[in-house]
Structure 1
Amino acid sequence: MEAAVSDQQINLLLTDLLYVYGYDFTAYAKASLKRRINRLYTLDHFPSFAEFRYRIRSDENYFNRFIEQLTVNVTEMFRDPLFYQALKTQIFPVLATYPFIRIWHAGCSTGEEVYSTAILLKEANLLHKSILYATDINAEVVKKAAAGIFPIHQMQQNSENYQLAGGREEFSQYYIAGYDHVLFNEILKKRMVFSTHNLVSESSFNQFQLILCRNVLIYFEKDLQGRVFALFDESLDKLGYLALGSKETLKMSPMVSRFRQVDTEKIWRKMQ
């Protein structure tokens, strides 16, 4: 087996993804992509790069596996509890003044943050007039998110995060526990719409009062970040909110003049 996939070979794969499947990863951070591609190449014991490339191009099931490994799906419920406190205390009171609230979780991964937002909306008596659109480039994680089934061993950490985020109820009331998994309540899921969406190549599909895209843009090169910020700007109502991850910022973007920072927890408001 060849030792590793070279930079030149990775560029070939990225070109294949674009022309065969329409997925544009060419502006993603190269070091991160190279690490993940080589990990999969080693895990699946390909004897040569040519066979690896052929399998990705010709086998749609393997292509789905490739995309799943390429995209980052590390998350948990109420991740960064102080962010959710800020969402609850500073943003929800403004959203409460709208007759209907549209929220977009862009890059939703397996859905933990979508359910977190829905729980806090319910406790703020806003869920009934909200719709949460949850999208990701990875079709497999979107399916998992829509199912609302999570490992039971994660619930203790999720519950602690929930309390730190200002949750008011018993966290366990929001799911039914089985042997090794839990199923979250239908009252949460019926306010959610899940679908695949490619932030790189697809356009805006609605006008939102709140967009959350947390810990996704850190894997994009600067030019691609700028394109995604333009998409979010197009997708937000005037005075709508954009929530980013702890290592992400609008400050270096051409879009920054159209927003002002609301909170140290990476929440921005569209002013123009």
Structure 2
Amino acid sequence: MDAQVNTGMPSPNKHFDIEMQLLLDAIYLKYHCDFRGYAGASLKRRLVTAMNRFGCETLSQLQDKVLHEPEVFPALMDYLTVQVSEMFRDPAYFLSLREKVIPLLRTYPSLKIWVAGCSAGEEVYSLAILLREEGLLERTLIYATDINSTALKKAESGVYSLDRIAGFTSNHQKSGAKTSLSDYYTTGYGRAVFDKTLRQHIVFSDHSLATDSVFAEMHLVSCRNVLIYFNRQLQERALGLFRESLCRKGFLGLGSKESLRFSSHADAFDEVVREDRIFQKKNLA
């Protein structure tokens, strides 16, 4: 057994679950952001980290800061939402999109794509580059949504640290790239700034899978590594939104650890690429 390590973080006390429920209720009532359907274990870990960051011994102290110190909530959002991604993450997924999905998307005169939970925008720009390589970006509108306004602003800027570009480039090549990633950004001051012509086809907007409704009919919905942070009820709600939003024969992409298998919506979809979690809405669904 590994020895215990003192992380310097406060440990959850016996009232933690009660305090967590009260904090999430307070956040919902004051800021209209609903985290009450997020998976408990993951949320607890992130809140313990946040308590340390804000110098709080209890969640009740953190709740007091959230309610009375306006600058705290935007900072707390970076703990409540998971901001971990990279361009062309899981390259096999993007390769499958090229080979199995793009040929069918070509048959539409115009396309709408929804990236739900877009974080800092890495997946959005990946899809935009893929679509440009395949000659489809000019007739595509990509909706990139998230509940974290700070992440959305970063995504909209299209600016990433230069030390991440090598990893992005490797993923891009593995995704079946037809161009060089360097064709799409300029560098300076340790940063890579992605081409503003990519952003012309992207609409960044606040949207909550917990509380908001469908806003357009989509040909492809990509929501990857988001549902794993939801409890079963919220997963069902989100999948219902995707099903409602997709046109007939539209496509749904999920993360590598996510599935429709145990969902009430499973019968509405066919598997296109099982290992890469790509599904297609049935014609009559």
Query: Could you tell me the TM-score, scaled by structure 1's length?
Result: 0.97
Number of residue-to-residue matches in the alignment: 272
**Once superposed, which parts of structure 1, at least 4 consecutive aligned residues long, lie more than 3 Å away?**
1-5, 47-51
Per-residue Cα deviation, 1:100-141 (whole angstroms, up to 9, x for no partner): 000000000000000000001001000000011000011100
Per-residue Cα deviation, 1:135-164 (whole angstroms, up to 9, x for no partner): 001110000000000000000010000000
Matched, 1:163 2:161: no
Q: In the alignment, which of 208, 218, 234 is matched to residue 208 of structure 1?
A: 218
Say which SS state the counterpart of residue 211 (structure 2) adopts.
Answer: coil
8 Å CA contact retained: 2:10, 2:48:
no
Q: Which residue of 2 aligns with 1:32?
A: 42
Q: Which residue of 2 aligns with 1:269?
A: 280
Residue range with higher mean Cα deviation, 133-142 or 56-65: 56-65
Using the TM superposition, give the Cα deviation of residue 45 of structure 1 relative to its aligned residue in structure 2, in angstroms.
1.3
8 Å CA contact retained: 2:141, 2:203:
yes
User: 1:54/1:174 Cα in 2 relative to 1: closer, same or farther (>3 Å)?
Assistant: same
8 Å CA contact retained: 1:95, 1:209:
yes
Q: Which residue of 2 aligns with 1:79?
A: 89
Matched, 1:187 2:187: no
8 Å CA contact retained: 1:102, 1:209:
yes
Q: Which residue of 1 aligns with 2:25?
A: 15
Q: Which residue of 1 aligns with 2:105?
A: 95
Using the TM superposition, give the Cα deviation of residue 75 of structure 1 relative to its aligned residue in structure 2, in angstroms.
0.2
Using the TM superposition, give the Cα deviation of residue 181 of structure 1 relative to its aligned residue in structure 2, in angstroms.
0.5
Q: Counterpart amino acid of 2:191?
A: H
1:232-243 aligned within 5 A: 232-243=242-253
List runs of 5+ in structure 2 lacking aligned partners: 1-8
Q: Which residue of 2 aligns with 1:245?
A: 255
Using the TM superposition, give the Cα deviation of residue 57 of structure 1 relative to its aligned residue in structure 2, in angstroms.
1.4
Using the TM superposition, give the Cα deviation of residue 59 of structure 1 relative to its aligned residue in structure 2, in angstroms.
2.6
Using the TM superposition, give the Cα deviation of residue 171 of structure 1 relative to its aligned residue in structure 2, in angstroms.
1.3
Using the TM superposition, give the Cα deviation of residue 8 of structure 1 relative to its aligned residue in structure 2, in angstroms.
1.4
Superposition CA RMSD, Å: 1.3
Cα distance in structure 2, aligned partners of 1:253 and 1:46: 38
Matched, 1:254 2:280: no
Per-residue Cα deviation, 1:70-125 (whole angstroms, up to 9, x for no partner): 10010000000000000011101111110100000000000000000000100100
Using the TM superposition, give the Cα deviation of residue 251 of structure 1 relative to its aligned residue in structure 2, in angstroms.
1.1
Using the TM superposition, give the Cα deviation of residue 232 of structure 1 relative to its aligned residue in structure 2, in angstroms.
0.7
8 Å CA contact retained: 2:20, 2:59:
no
Q: Which residue of 2 aligns with 1:115?
A: 125
Q: Which residue of 1 aligns with 2:142?
A: 132
Task: Give aligned-pair identity as a percent.
Answer: 40
Say which SS state the counterpart of residue 60 (structure 1) adopts.
Answer: coil
8 Å CA contact retained: 2:23, 2:60:
no
Cα distance in structure 1, aligned partners of 2:86 and 2:240: 27
Cα distance in structure 2, aligned partners of 1:11 and 1:48: 13
Cα distance in structure 2, aligned partners of 1:170 and 1:235: 33
Query: Could you tell me the TM-score, scaled by structure 2's length?
Result: 0.92
Q: Counterpart amino acid of 1:195?
A: S
List runs of 5+ in structure 1 lacking aligned partners: none
Cα distance in structure 1, aligned partners of 2:82 and 2:270: 28
Q: Which residue of 2 aligns with 1:142?
A: 152
8 Å CA contact retained: 1:36, 1:69:
yes
Using the TM superposition, give the Cα deviation of residue 174 of structure 1 relative to its aligned residue in structure 2, in angstroms.
0.6
Q: Which residue of 2 aligns with 1:65?
A: 75
Cα distance in structure 2, aligned partners of 1:55 and 1:111: 29
Q: Counterpart amino acid of 1:201?
A: T
8 Å CA contact retained: 1:2, 1:49:
no
Q: Which residue of 1 aligns with 2:228?
A: 218
8 Å CA contact retained: 2:54, 2:62:
no
8 Å CA contact retained: 1:81, 1:165:
yes
